[in-house]
Amino acid sequence: MSDRPVLLVTGGSRGIGAAVVLKAAGAGWDVLINYVSNRAAAEKLSAEVRLLGVRAEIVQGDTGTEEGIAAIFAAVDQQFGRLDGLVNNAGVVDQTARVEDYSRERLDRMFAINVIGNIRCASEAVRRMSTAHGGRGGSIVNISSMAAVLGSPGQYVDYAASKGAVDTFTIGLAREVASEGIRVNAIRPGVIDTDIHASGGLPDRAAAMAPSIPMQRPGTSEEIADAVLYLISSQASYVTGAILNVSGGR
């Protein structure tokens, strides 16, 4: 077994998750890359990571289901036997719509992945990292969104509500496990140029919103990853319960 710390990144095969994986690998972390359906992307990313001289494994699992979460953490135990960091990055958005047009199915999917999956993955991480359970401590970073404070009216109010729940969960969990060697923080990305906008039916949303951002441009996945790497590093050893806006001033 390696002495390198181990980081689990949910939804880690593309976008912000993939950028976090590469930055963490460059900083000396072994990584477990979780994906749902795009195995080819996960395998390609893991090959890139191995070229950096650290270990990378992949695991399929939908964080919106108990079966998926069980598979992910079974891989943590079997492949690495330790866990030092979790980045709760997996999340979904839906087609733009007004609240009165939301279906129950849409809401169930949104909250199962963005909220319940986030909480359940953190729960499993705490079981492995908490000094109260014999662990060595560790760090959890939840990926929230500026939507949590802006509300996303006319587009994704349900998504914004789910990220508001992530913010509250981050603060509560941070205070609950602070004496057990675990730090818990969150990042609120602003408008980031990733393919999540296409999944919501607005592939050009990032560029279109640039004029409304004080810095006049969307952010990049790498800029979010830099913030995540700070929070999981020893440089943030006295930072817990923090929610960091990485949003170009918006």
Confidence band, pLDDT 50/70/90 cuts, at residue 203? low
pLDDT at 156 over 60: yes
Confidence band, pLDDT 50/70/90 cuts, at residue 199? low
Which whole number is the average pLDDT over 13-30?
97
Per-residue pLDDT of 94-113, as tens digits, reads: 999 999 999 999 999 999 99
pLDDT at 198 over 90: no
Active-site entry in 102, 156, 159, 238: 159
Q: Does domain 6-246 have CATH number 3.40.50.720?
A: yes
* pLDDT confidence of residue 212: 81
238 classed as catalytic: no
Per-residue pLDDT of 118-149, as tens digits, reads: 999 999 999 999 999 999 999 999 999 999 99
- Sketch the domain layout of the chain as residue ranges: 6-246
Task: Take residue 241 and report the two structure tokens written for it.
Answer: 């319960």
pLDDT at 207 over 60: yes
Per-residue pLDDT of 37-88, as tens digits, reads: 999 999 999 999 999 999 999 999 999 999 999 999 999 999 999 999 999 9
